[in-house]
Amino acid sequence: QVQLVESGGGLVQPGGSLSLSCTASGRTFSTYTMGWFRQAPGKEREFVAALWWSGGIAYYAYYADSVKGRFTMSRDNAKSTVYLQMNSLKPEDAAVYYCAAGRPPTAGWSLKGNYDYWGQGTQVTVSS
21 vs 85: CA distance, rounded Å: 9
Which residues fall within 8 angstroms of residue 17, CB to CB, at 6 or more apart?
85, 86, 87, 88, 89
Cα dihedral value 86, 40, 65, 12, nearest 10: -20
What pLDDT shows up at residue 56?
81
pLDDT digits (tens, 9 = 90+) for 52-101: 988 888 899 999 999 999 999 999 999 999 999 999 999 999 999 999 99
Express as a percent the part of the chain with pLDDT over 70.
100
Handedness of CA 35, 92, 88, 13 (dihedral sign): negative
Residue in 67, 57, 60, 40 with CA at minimum distance from that of residue 108:
60
